């Protein structure tokens, strides 16, 4: 379930092959994220396409901020669990005799210096199941089991099964052990996801007891699930006919069905799926493993059961363990499960056959659902896609192609990216880059926002540019910048809140799943060294030009996809579904309809009936004695340099310096606020007097690990004025601190706002990205809109990243042409109102010696800043009109929100609110909005700084029904009767969120945010104690605060026109309609 409104976490972040993922091709059961009790429910906004391609939920190279700035985030959890500060326990290696005794043979063993791990590949003798056991001192332990699951059609069996196996099992026969783990575990990752040819079930935890609990639940779930014997689970997670009364219409329901309706409402996703299926028409990739909503209802329960029987077998599994736990105990756990099975022919049945290469290029034209407003002739999309080889590539070639991909597309200065965007032929890149996570790699590049008469020109420009790159090669500085960026990222190994062990697992499995060497992807030092030596000896042109020619220009396996906007498609698809269901109903006798209504009620009753206490006790859990009584301490020294406040965090960072420079937005004129995201992008993507933007970008890449600039806005509890800042983040090797601060100064003070054509590109790219967010992350748009009606910081955030921002961008496009001088002047005015030593804060995270050595460079940087900003302090007091609103877009699913300020009721913040909010999300909303209602997600969030409590749903087939569920939350709390075990579980799960895993750079950043928002260590301790002593009485009392949302809250939905019309007919004038697309 989506726990916050952030983008999905980066998956598999430090691949040595620089894999970039552009299309969300696998489907997570839940997005793990934390809303921390340290009080950091913030909004921060970044220029949507400022300097990097969007990195989605797949194995990708985690680039520096300079190369991966397109985050456009919503809510993020910042308080995170610490990295180990004491030595890990030392365990003996697993000897051959010990392995044999447990039923395994040791196939190979190697110490891999890149991940500082001893890695052993075992094979279970009875079933042939392979196990990678990775041992090191990382306390964030990871387990994963992966099955090869090639689909034969687009009914979505792998995806539905991925959801369903976690709905109860032999040892854990309750409705959803997965949800119980969400409620009461200290997990740092808990999820499952489906690829086009495999299904992964990973978990992670820093607590050893908790970790093994998670492992046991997952092993029992995949091998002995209830779903193969319970058709209700299949109906709930997959699809079923729903009929509440024989007199009403039949509808489709199912979590995956509605999830995929949302996926198929997004043009970028439709393009990605069309391209994949056109490139691989002969194998498993030629169908949609996630499921096509038009095909999902063809899936039968018998086919579903057979798929599990065939592929969910140890012989067809790869198992991964990683971390500081006992490697012998790992095998002991596995042998208990694997010994119950005999060998199976599944590995032969599940093999992926390679796609044969075409002898000539193909072309496909498809329609996508578009709104009726605007010039549809300028809304075409076009992409060129190549299947690069008829077999997997060798390591050196794959490495070189990944490097080439980064050179061509990885930064704003990359030539293929730059030329396409500067051409004016389209608004933004789409489906761009190399993907090598499947059996055969592919390369795609395209544009969206293309005029109908420019489609052919885009194709010609792509081919021409590739030909020119093959002929001329790449600039030497560009090659050096790419190499430094890639090397820095690999050595930093910064996977954010995503477990490093899972990142490594996903890299390894990309070869291992195809019966190749699982060790190879983990070792990048020698291949990278060889590539650098080859470039030094032969020159980059000799290395990269032949690759462009062989794999792209002279490759006949090319598919061109043109996507045409169709304002009627969404309504036509809905009408087709409705007509089909009317025929289904017409074909049924009265007794059949009565039976369907009875079955619908039976399923609903089962979904809404809680598990008995005795069933819940079977799920293993921790006790409160396992929980630390104090919050995680981050060493923080507050001092000054030349009158400017400096925060220092003495932490081991592997010789890397992380820094943030914070400027106050208090002097910024209100009317300039919507221009701030574009101001931030301009700082990083325009040139100076002496450097072009390309040269500046390359210099950042050569000297640092990256620089990013973005605004931040948050309410501050107990204060009227919001916290509004511009944050400049940078990182470099500690020995290059001088370069880092010099470059930050150049970015802030030397960049000139004179490049009108580039700024026009920024506007077009941002508009396209916001339109995509509206379709794919409507819950975030709804949340921001509601907050804008409730407080000033919400209004600021909405002006910089919500619907108001999109509307501003739509008018700005023309203004760039008509009044560029005025816009350029406004950008300069923003700079003058922000940059000053007065109100500036510098935050640094590194080891003590590096911090001390960096101070002289900080002092020089600060000396160059103006003393005070231009203009006086501005008082912010703006909000959007308080009214229910429906933001109408062409979509098959809805995003439904309702919010209110509970502090306005007199409620005083108590740590119990974190426990109660989590419990509401994991019980009431999960059961009613997701399980019974069929939405992909239903969740709630308390912004502890503003007091805004928000309800939100994600890819929801309902609208008013979901709002009614929100309104009944107070009654749910009043009628709640939780036993001690349930309460303990809720408390532990909340602590797991509060203490979520964190690497050193994020620790320093979290500490900065707490400082900005006035959250002291004393308050953190107080909140923790309140969490640990939460009682049933607290739940009952919180119902009063929640009732205020029912009576005085505001509702915002991003929804289809049909559903909004129906809602306004049922409740006259309930929504004010705002047609957005």
Tokens matching residue 639: 């001092």
Choice among 139, 176, 180, 237 that is catalytic: 237
Q: How many CB atoms lie within 10 A of CB 282?
A: 10
* 24 contacts 269 by C-beta, under 8 angstroms: yes
d(CA 924, CA 928): 6
d(CA 604, CA 898): 24
* 435 contacts 503 by C-beta, under 8 angstroms: no
Q: What are phi and psi of 19, to 5 degrees?
A: -80, 130
Tokens matching residue 948: 């805004």
Tokens matching residue 378: 């300028």
Q: How many CB atoms lie within 10 A of CB 269?
A: 21
Choice among 139, 162, 437, 798 that is catalytic: 162
DSSP 874: P
Please name which of 83, 10, 71 lies closest in space to residue 997, comparing C-alpha atoms.
Answer: 83
Q: What would the DSSP string read from start to end of 67-128?
A: T-------EE---EEPPP-SPPPP-----HHHHHHTTEEEEEEEEEGGGTEEEEEEEETTT-
Residue that is written with structure tokens 């107080």 in the block: 1022
d(CA 653, CA 656): 5
d(CA 254, CA 603): 12
Tokens matching residue 340: 């119950």
Please name which of 797, 683, 707 lies closest in space to residue 73, comparing C-alpha atoms.
Answer: 797
d(CA 369, CA 271): 12
Please name which of 992, 988, 979 lies closest in space to residue 1032, comparing C-alpha atoms.
Answer: 979
The H-or-E segment that residue 455 falls in is helix 455-472
| Exposure of 967 in the CB half-sphere (CA atoms within 13 A) | 12
Told to judge if 237 belongs to the known catalytic residues of this protein, a careful annotator would answer yes
Beta bridge partners of 203: 143, 190
Reduced to 3 states, what is the DSSP secondary structure of residue 486?
helix
d(CA 791, CA 580): 46
Cα dihedral sign, 830-831-837-839 = positive
d(CA 631, CA 627): 10
Q: For the chain, give me the number of helices (H) and strands (E)?
A: 37, 31
Tokens matching residue 943: 């912004």
* 133 contacts 94 by C-beta, under 8 angstroms: yes
* 508 contacts 523 by C-beta, under 8 angstroms: no
d(CA 74, CA 56): 15
Please name which of 176, 41, 145, 3 lies closest in space to residue 615, comparing C-alpha atoms.
Answer: 176
* 1075 contacts 1060 by C-beta, under 8 angstroms: no
DSSP 876: P
* 1007 contacts 39 by C-beta, under 8 angstroms: no
Residues 535/654/860/67 CA torsion (nearest 10 deg): 50
Beta bridge partners of 242: 251
Q: How many CB atoms lie within 10 A of CB 469?
A: 22
The 10 Å CB-count burial string (b at 16+, else e) for 144-157 is bbbbbbbbebbbbb
DSSP 59: B
Tokens matching residue 674: 């919507």
d(CA 505, CA 502): 5
* 901 contacts 947 by C-beta, under 8 angstroms: yes
Length of the chain: 1077
Catalytic positions: 162, 237
């Amino acid at each position: 379930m989506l726990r916050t409104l952030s983008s999905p976490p980066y998956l598999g972040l430090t691949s040595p092959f620089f894999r970039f993922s552009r299309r969300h091709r696998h489907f997570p059961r839940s997005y793990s994220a934390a809303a921390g009790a340290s009080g950091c429910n913030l909004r921060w906004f970044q220029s949507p396409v400022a300097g990097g391609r969007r990195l989605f939920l797949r194995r990708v190279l985690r680039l520096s901020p300079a190369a991966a700035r397109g985050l456009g985030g919503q809510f993020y959890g910042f308080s995170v669990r610490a990295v180990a500060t004491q030595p890990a326990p030392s365990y003996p290696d697993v000897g051959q005799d010990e392995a044999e005794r447990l039923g395994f043979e040791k196939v190979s063993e190697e110490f891999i210096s890149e991940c500082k791990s001893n890695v052993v590949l075992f094979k279970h003798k009875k079933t042939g199941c392979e196990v990678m056991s990775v041992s090191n001192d990382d306390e964030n332990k990871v387990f994963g089991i992966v099955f090869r699951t090639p689909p034969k059609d687009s009914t979505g069996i792998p995806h539905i099964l991925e959801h369903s196996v976690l709905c109860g099992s032999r040892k854990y026969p309750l409705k959803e052990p997965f949800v119980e783990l969400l409620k009461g575990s200290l997990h740092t990752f808990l999820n499952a996801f489906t690829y086009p040819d495999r299904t992964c079930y990973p978990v992670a935890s820093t607590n050893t007891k908790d970790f093994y609990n998670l492992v046991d639940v997952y092993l029992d779930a995949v091998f002995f699930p209830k779903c193969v014997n319970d058709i209700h689970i299949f109906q709930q997670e997959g699809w079923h006919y729903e009929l509440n009364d024989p007199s009403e219409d039949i509808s489709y329901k199912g979590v995956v069905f509605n999830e995929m309706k949302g996926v198929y409402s997004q043009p970028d996703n439709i393009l990605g799926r069309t391209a994949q299926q056109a490139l691989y028409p002969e194998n498993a990739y030629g169908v949609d493993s996630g499921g096509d909503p038009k095909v999902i209802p063809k899936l039968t329960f018998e086919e579903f059961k057979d798929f599990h029987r065939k592929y969910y077998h140890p012989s067809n599994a790869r198992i991964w363990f990683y971390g500081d736990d006992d490697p012998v105990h790992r095998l002991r756990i596995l042998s208990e499960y694997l010994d119950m099975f005999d060998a199976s022919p599944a590995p032969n049945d599940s093999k992926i056959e390679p796609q044969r290469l075409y002898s000539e290029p193909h072309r496909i034209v498809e329609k996508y659902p578009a709104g009726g407003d605007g010039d549809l002739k300028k809304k075409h999309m076009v992409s060129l896609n190549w299947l690069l080889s008829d077999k997997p590539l060798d390591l050196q070639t794959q490495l070189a192609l990944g490097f080439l991909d980064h050179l061509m597309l990885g930064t704003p200065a990359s030539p293929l990216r730059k030329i396409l965007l500067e051409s004016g032929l389209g608004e933004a890149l789409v489906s761009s880059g190399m993907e090598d996570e499947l059996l055969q790699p592919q390369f795609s590049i395209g544009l969206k926002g293309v005029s109908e008469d420019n489609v052919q020109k885009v194709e010609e420009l792509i081919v021409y540019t590739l030909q020119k790159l093959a002929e001329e090669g790449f600039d030497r500085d560009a090659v050096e910048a790419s190499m430094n960026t890639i090397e820095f990222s690999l050595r930093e190994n910064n996977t954010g809140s995503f477990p490093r062990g899972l990142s490594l697992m996903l890299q390894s499995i990309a070869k291992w799943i195809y019966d190749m060497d699982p060790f190879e992807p983990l070792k990048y030092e020698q291949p990278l060294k060889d590539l650098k030596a080859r470039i030094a000896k032969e020159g980059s042109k000799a290395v990269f030009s032949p690759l462009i020619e062989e794999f792209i220009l002279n490759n006949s396996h090319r598919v061109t996809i043109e996507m045409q906007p169709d304002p009627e498609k969404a309504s036509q698809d809905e009408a087709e579904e409705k007509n089909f269901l009317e025929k289904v109903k017409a074909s049924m006798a009265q007794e059949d309809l009565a039976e369907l209504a009875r079955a619908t009620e039976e399923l609903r009753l089962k979904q809404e009936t809680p598990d008995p206490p005795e069933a819940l006790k079977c799920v293993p859990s921790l006790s409160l004695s396992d929980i630390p009584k104090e919050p995680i301490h981050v060493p923080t020294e507050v001092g000054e340099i030349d009158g400017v406040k400096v925060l220092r965090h003495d932490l081991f960072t592997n010789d890397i310096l992380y820094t943030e420079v914070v400027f106050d937005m208090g002097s910024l004129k209100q009317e300039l606020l919507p221009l701030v995201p574009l101001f931030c992008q301009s700082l990083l993507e325009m040139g100076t007097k002496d450097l072009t933007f390309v040269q500046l970008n390359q210099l950042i890449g050569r000297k640092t690990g990256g620089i990013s600039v973005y605004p931040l806005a948050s309410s501050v509890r107990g204060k009227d004025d919001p916290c509004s800042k511009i944050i400049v983040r940078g990182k470099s090797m500690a020995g290059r601190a001088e370069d880092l601060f010099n470059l930050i100064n150049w970015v802030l003070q030397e960049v000139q706002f004179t490049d009108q054509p580039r700024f026009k590109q920024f506007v077009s790219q941002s508009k396209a990205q916001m339109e995509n967010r509206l379709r794919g992350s409507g819950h975030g748009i709804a949340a921001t809109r509601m907050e804008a009606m409730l407080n000033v910081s919400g209004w600021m955030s909405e002006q910089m990243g919500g619907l108001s921002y999109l509307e501003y961008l739509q008018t700005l496009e023309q203004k760039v042409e008509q009044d560029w001088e005025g816009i350029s002047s406004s950008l300069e005015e923003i700079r003058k109102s922000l940059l000053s030593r007065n109100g500036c804060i510098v935050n640094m995270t590194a080891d003590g010696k590096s911090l001390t050595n960096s101070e002289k460079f900080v002092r020089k940087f600060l000396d160059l800043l103006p003393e005070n900003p231009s203009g006086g302090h501005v008082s912010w007091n703006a909000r959007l009109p308080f009214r229910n609103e429906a933001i109408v877009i062409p979509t098959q699913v809805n995003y439904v929100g309702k919010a209110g300020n509970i502090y306005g009721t007199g409620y005083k913040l108590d740590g119990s609110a974190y426990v109660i909010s989590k419990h509401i999300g994991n019980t009431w909303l999960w059961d009613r909005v997701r399980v019974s209602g069929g939405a992909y997600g239903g969740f709630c969030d308390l912004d502890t700084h503003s007091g805004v409590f928000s309800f939100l749903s994600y890819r929801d087939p309902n609208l008013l029904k979901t709002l009614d569920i929100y309104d009944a939350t107070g009654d749910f709390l009043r009628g709640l009767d939780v036993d001690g075990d349930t309460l303990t579980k809720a408390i532990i799960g909340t602590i797991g969120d509060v203490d979520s895993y964190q690497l050193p750079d994020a620790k320093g950043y979290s500490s900065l945010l707490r400082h900005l928002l006035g959250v002291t260590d004393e308050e953190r301790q107080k909140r923790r104690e309140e969490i640990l002593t939460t009682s049933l009485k607290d739940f009952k009392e919180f119902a009063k605060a929640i009732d205020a949302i029912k009576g005085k809250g505001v509702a915002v939905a991003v929804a289809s026109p049909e559903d909004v019309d129906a809602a306004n007919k049922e409740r006259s004038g309930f929504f004010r309609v705002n047609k957005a697309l």
